[in-house]
Chain A
Amino acid sequence: MKISACMKRKVISIPAHATLREAAARLVAHHIGMLPVVDEAMHPVGVVALKDLLNLSMPDFVRLVEHLDFVHEFGAVESFIPDAATLARPVKDYMRPVTTVKEECGLLRAFAIMLKHDLHDLPVVDEQGRLTGIASRVDIGTAILATWSHG
């Protein structure tokens, strides 16, 4: 089975010049965890992930201490919101490189790529490299599991 059979064809994406604030709003509006960043021709140029945005409001110590089970309360940093200047930055400053697969990619290969790159959503492109779909771990995983019942 190909990934094109289980992917979502209505992809929510964002242009590279959009701001972080817009990216955050789009993630919230669609209740999703990742946005492919695309150019005018719909070629994916990067991704903005939920965790990268959340990192902006993570306290500094989270990066510095090895474990923090002993911190029962985050106190003053619990409700930390990044400042307006940061939120006005374009997503291209914060996006990470995108990993894509072609529409005819096999399901198991797609899932393995997600595991190796620690991805939760995998953008799919056509022969011309244009974004045509996106598949989550659950989309791909359940499609694979569904084949087991035929076995």
Chain B
Amino acid sequence: MTAILLSSAIFIASLVLIFTEKVNRVIVGLGGATLMMIAGRIFNFYTEEQAIGAIDWNTLGLLTGMMVLVSLLEPTGVFQFLAVWAGRVSRGRPFLLLVLLGSVTTVLSMVLDNVTTVVLIAPITILICEVLGISATPYLLSEALLSNTGGVATLVGDPPNVLVASAAHFSFTTFLTHALPVVILAWMAALFLLRFLFRAELSQTPPAREAILGLDPYEALDDPRSARRGLVVLAGAILLFFFESQLEVSTAFIAMGAAAAGLAWIRPPVAETLKRIEWSVLVFFAALFIMVGGLEHAGVFNLLIQALLGIQKFPPVLLGVLLIWVVAILSAVVDNVPITIALIPVILGLGEAGMQINALWWALVFGAGFGGNATIIGSSANIVVATLSERTRAPITGPLWLKRGLPVMLLTCTVASIFFALAYPLFNR
């Protein structure tokens, strides 16, 4: 009982500290993991070997590999190229510009890290809008909202997806076939809602429409050779993801292999390239895994599952829809990674207790992904966009985000709930 109370206290205290954002989450994570291991040692519920075993190396390997690929592409200017190209093709027509910039950001963030994508696309968006003489706010907001929404579609699109897929043993193809249809519907719905929400801004003709033709995408592409090689390697990795199960390799293996191939082919300055990897994210993940492992070995989840077994009386469809909304609301106000990591063992435990849990995984994925749209702090991409806009003359404020983002979150979650309920048997396979 001491083990259960102590480990729960450490975990809850860490979560509270993470959510209040008083202390950097990496420091909290490492501190919590250390305390958990000390407690485990003293009260004999958690050994060092068990802690190492609790780390999901497949998740970390996949994230690291993809981060290296992004880092290889970042200095080539390929992201700027795509944004400038989208601007030119739109010829300064507001809604078309929004659709194109939103699509570019979405497609990129489906295969790459959301934050990096937004960090590179948003400044060019501000540039395009200023040159045209229009406010960048609708475009910046839409990019973040659409890329959050699109990121739900693939296994590598968002950290919660990686976590769930790894725990539930979903392959890249399984993930795509289950999530993509929902995401396409939700994305289209979000796009038309954005068109409505920004109807005033989007109906104005930009004062300097011709000036967009003065932007040359090819000049924005600094290193076409490395960009081409980086994209070939990325495409190769995605292709291999589809054959993950036939080849009997893990997604982490493919991603790390692609990273190695990319480094070997492009030959960038290695130290500089590796510096761009988001080590803080990786360390935070590892620390959370160790903490959750401690809870598991202390027997917290067994207790929780016994308490939760009563929910089996609920109709499973209702339970899934409920999970979507609970996770979405939580993800809107706090980081969705700790939520996902904390819920995974609970769902696994329910499965061991004999419950049908396949559909619950998808509910978790949809909730964690779509929920982040609601608030300015809901996802890392939102924070990045808002921070960048603070350096302009028209900063995006929290209330403004809520006014535009919350409707998008509600709509996408509704779409996901309806689709989930209608196609429940498919999700439960």
Interface residues of A (CB under 8 A from B): 59-61, 63-65, 68-77
Q: How far is the CB of A141 from chain B (nearest CB, A)?
A: 36
From B173-181, B205-213, B269-277, give the one contacting chain A: B205-213
Interface string of B165-206 (1 = CB under 8 A from A): 000000000000000000000000000000000000000001
Q: Which residues of B contact A72 (CB under 8 A)?
A: 214-216
Q: Which residues of B contact A69 (CB under 8 A)?
A: 219
Contact, CB under 8 Å: B127 / A64: yes
Contact, CB under 8 Å: B216 / A60: no
Contact, CB under 8 Å: B393 / A60: yes
**A70-B82 Cα distance, complex, nearest whole Å:** 13
Contact, CB under 8 Å: B216 / A75: no
**A63-B126 Cα distance, complex, nearest whole Å:** 11
12 extra interface residue pairs, beta carbon distance < 8 Å, beyond A61-B127, A61-B130, A75-B212: A59-B127, A59-B131, A60-B130, A61-B131, A64-B126, A65-B123, A70-B80, A70-B219, A74-B211, A76-B131, A76-B132, A77-B130
Q: Which residues of A contact B2 (CB under 8 A)?
A: none
Interface residues of B (CB under 8 A from A): 80, 84, 123-124, 126-127, 130-134, 206-208, 210-220, 388, 391-393
Known A-B contacts A70-B220, A71-B131, A74-B131; A61 and B211 likewise in contact (beta carbons under 8 Å): no
Known A-B contacts A60-B126, A75-B131; A70 and B208 likewise in contact (beta carbons under 8 Å): no
Contact, CB under 8 Å: A76 / B130: yes
**A144-B216 Cα distance, complex, nearest whole Å:** 45
Contact, CB under 8 Å: A65 / B124: yes
26 residue pairs A–B, Cβ–Cβ below 8 Å: A59-B127, A59-B130, A61-B123, A61-B124, A61-B130, A61-B131, A63-B391, A64-B126, A64-B127, A64-B388, A64-B391, A64-B392, A65-B80, A65-B123, A70-B220, A73-B211, A73-B213, A75-B132, A75-B133, A75-B210, A75-B214, A76-B133, A76-B206, A76-B208, A77-B130, A77-B131
Q: Which residues of B contact A59 (CB under 8 A)?
A: 127, 130-131
Q: Which chain B residue has the least Cβ–Cβ distance from A83?
A: B393
5 closest Cβ pairs, A-B complex: A75-B211, A76-B133, A73-B214, A70-B219, A61-B127
Q: How far is the CB of B21 from chain A (nearest CB, A)?
A: 25
Residue with the greatest number of chain B CB neighbours at <10 A, chosen from A60, A69, A75? A75
**Option from B132, B133, B215 in Cβ contact (under 8 Å) with A71:** B215
Q: Which residues of A contact B208 (CB under 8 A)?
A: 75-76
Q: Which residues of A contact B219 (CB under 8 A)?
A: 69-70
Q: How far is the CB of B305 from chain A (nearest CB, A)?
A: 49
Q: Which residues of B contact A73 (CB under 8 A)?
A: 131, 211, 213-215
Q: Which residues of A contact B388 (CB under 8 A)?
A: 64
Q: Which residues of A contact B214 (CB under 8 A)?
A: 71-73, 75
Known A-B contacts A76-B131, A76-B207; A70 and B391 likewise in contact (beta carbons under 8 Å): no
Q: Which chain A residue has the least Cβ–Cβ distance from B212?
A: A75
**A89-B302 Cα distance, complex, nearest whole Å:** 65
**A56-B80 Cα distance, complex, nearest whole Å:** 25
**A74-B130 Cα distance, complex, nearest whole Å:** 8
Contact, CB under 8 Å: B127 / A68: yes
Contact, CB under 8 Å: A70 / B217: yes
Q: How far is the CB of B94 from chain A (nearest CB, A)?
A: 14
Q: Which residues of B contact A71 (CB under 8 A)?
A: 127, 131, 214-215
**Option from A61, A70, A75 in Cβ contact (under 8 Å) with B126:** A61
